[in-house]
Amino acid sequence: MRLVESAGLAAVVGSVPLADFDEDALRDHLEDLEWLERTARAHHRVINGAARHGQVIPLRFATLYHDDDRVRAMLRERRDDFTATLRRVAGRTEWGVKAYVDPRSFLPDPDEPTGGEGSPGTAYLMRRRAQRQDQETAHLRATERAEEIHASLAALAVATAAHPPQDTALAAYEGWMVLNNSYLVPDALSEEFTALVTDLGARYPAVTLEVSGPWPPYSFTAPPKRAEDAQPEETPS
Amino acid sequence: MNQSSDWNPPVRRTGGAREPARRGAEPSSLADILERVLDKGIVIAGDIQINLLDIELLTIKIRLLVASVDRAKEMGIDWWEHDPSLSSGARDVLEENERLRRRVGELEDGRGARREDDHGTQGAEREDER
């Protein structure tokens, strides 16, 4: 890895063989989960390593230039964007928080059996409908808890980002992942934030919370779109 | 709260948060990394354009691959059923496939039946056909 500098910015650059990264090769490789894992982890390792030495803006996986001059040109062209983004994430760290629930913990208490009258077929259909409604109720209740947890965590963050629930084969878990969010937290509040996750875990015993991080600010480098991302800048303490 | 014994919470738990987190101290989960390096991170046009759609397709593919359809539905994830570009084509193919299978089955059954007829007494159907 090396630094390519221009316009007061430095890009962390590594050379890769074109044979592996031209359009066709890349498309094939992206279908190969083993290759993808190796390469994505390498991408992450470099960003993580650079983040130890200063504020970084993670670029999307497989951002490719033909030579260093093109990288310098890109740094010059995007200088304003990059400096604005750097200001936005400076002194702040991304934390990931996930919430898992066992759906059974959120099922309504079983009422006395309904559908005693009528034919067995009707009773069966009634039972099926009740089961489906119970699932919906459980999901709603679990989602409400997740929203309460999110609101508490968001109070310590300057921005939040939501990820979709993860695949169960890529991330081994059972039940429902009802929260998978990233929080951009001022460094001064890092300990408070992780302690809050622990407290919330105790406050909501039916919800299992998991914190990951600190992450380089992957989820907060896109230009702000929503109001909550576009909070006025304060001087980082 | 009826927590059953087969409920397996994830490996890394809330308690881990108490320990001072170090950058890169523990290997992050692949899912965590992929959702960040593929879906997040600033996007700038490089010299080699990989269609972002490809990446999205890939992640969709992974999702479909690994999450069983029933489980996903149970979680309320059934967007492919409402996405015309994904569902209608696939459903048409499936339906067509099913229709063809049935037809082949019918033809095979029919032929089998007729062959039996040929060997046995003349079937009424064949009589009629003549």
Q: Express each pLDDT in A132-189 by its tens digit.
A: 899 999 999 999 999 999 999 999 999 999 988 887 767 778 899 999 999 999 999 9
Residue A236 lies in a domain: no
* CA-derived radius of gyration, chain B: 28
Residue A21 and residue A97 in one domain: no
Sequence-distant (≥ 6) Cβ neighbours of residue A5 within 8 angstroms? A11, A72, A75
Residue B82's pLDDT band (cuts 50, 70, 90): low
Domain containing A57: what range?
2-89
Q: What is the mean pLDDT of chain A?
A: 87
Residue B31 Cα to chain centre, angstroms: 18
Residue A36's pLDDT band (cuts 50, 70, 90): confident
Residue A42 and residue A121 in one domain: no
Residue A120 and residue A156 in one domain: yes
- How distant is the Cα of B35 from the closest Cα of chain A, in angstroms? 7
- ipTM, interface predicted TM-score of the complex: 0.81
User: DSSP string spanning chain B?
Assistant: ----TT----SS-GGGGGSPP-TTSSPPPHHHHHHHHTT-SB----SS---HHHHHHHHHHHHHHHS-HHHHHHTT--HHHH-HHHHHHHHHHHHHHHHHHHHHHHHHHHHHHHHHHHHSSPPHHHHHH-
Tokens of B90: 């696939």
Residue A237 lies in a domain: no
Residue A136 lies in a domain: yes
Residue A199 and residue A112 in one domain: yes
Sequence-distant (≥ 6) Cβ neighbours of residue B7 within 8 angstroms? A102, A104, A174, A175
Interface test with A, best of B5, B34, B59, B71 (most A CBs within 10 A): B34
CB contact under 8 Å between B36 and A215, yes or no, is yes
Q: Is B33 exposed, middle or buried (0-12, 13-18, 19+ CB in 10 A)?
A: buried
Per-residue pLDDT, B60: 56
Q: Decide if A76 touches B, using CB distance below 8 A.
A: no
CB contact under 8 Å between B62 and A167, yes or no, is yes
Q: Is A211 exposed, middle or buried (0-12, 13-18, 19+ CB in 10 A)?
A: buried
- What is the H or E stretch that residue A6 is in? strand A2-6
Q: Is B69 left (phi over 0), alpha (psi -120 to 50) or beta?
A: alpha
CB contact under 8 Å between B10 and A98, yes or no, is yes
Residue A162 and residue A182 in one domain: yes
Tokens of A108: 């309504």
CB contact under 8 Å between A171 and B37, yes or no, is no
When mean pLDDT is compared across A5-9, A18-22, B29-33, B122-126, the lowest value belongs to B122-126
Residue A77 and residue A117 in one domain: no
CB contact under 8 Å between A31 and B61, yes or no, is yes
Total structural domains within chain A: 2
Residue A100 and residue A63 in one domain: no
Residue A121 and residue A221 in one domain: yes
pLDDT in tens, A79-103: 999 999 999 999 999 999 999 999 9
